[in-house]
Amino acid sequence: MIRKILHILFLPCSEATLLMEKRNANTISSREKRKLNMHLMICKWCRMYKQKLEVLDKILASTFAERETEINDSEIQNFKNKMFNKLNF
């Protein structure tokens, strides 16, 4: 129950996932980083999402490095959308 309140008070999951994306793109502020870390401490779902995101990034990075083709942004976006749908965000 307390965790639920903290969740709503600090940062909703939808915003936490957004901040994770920002962190990956290195556009996150230190204040946002603190908020995100706080959220990750109390939210196991976002911790799981973060792990998946890290694995995903590694796979994507190695896939595109091997293929040496142009990175197709819409392809990546489609992939991410599918992930979001699966995770019900």
With CB under 5 A as the contact rule, the residue among 36, 46, 50, 53 that binds Zn ion is: 46
- Of 25-33, 44-52, 69-77, 79-87: span binding Zn ion (CB under 5 A): 44-52
How far from chain centre, in Å, is Cα 63? 19
**CB nearer Zn ion, residue 38 or residue 60:** 38
Q: Between the CA atoms of 26, 30, 34 and 39, what dihedral angle is there, to the nearest 10 degrees?
A: -30
Where does this chain touch Zn ion (CB under 5 A) — which range of 27-35, 36-44, 56-64, 79-87? 36-44
Helix locations, 2-72, DSSP H? 2-10, 13-24, 30-42, 44-67
Residues contacting 32, CB < 8 A, separation 6+: 19, 22, 23
Among 13, 56, 60, 83, binds Zn ion (CB under 5 A): 13
Residue closest to Zn ion when measured from CB atoms:
43
The binding site for Zn ion (CB under 5 A) comprises 13, 16, 43, 46
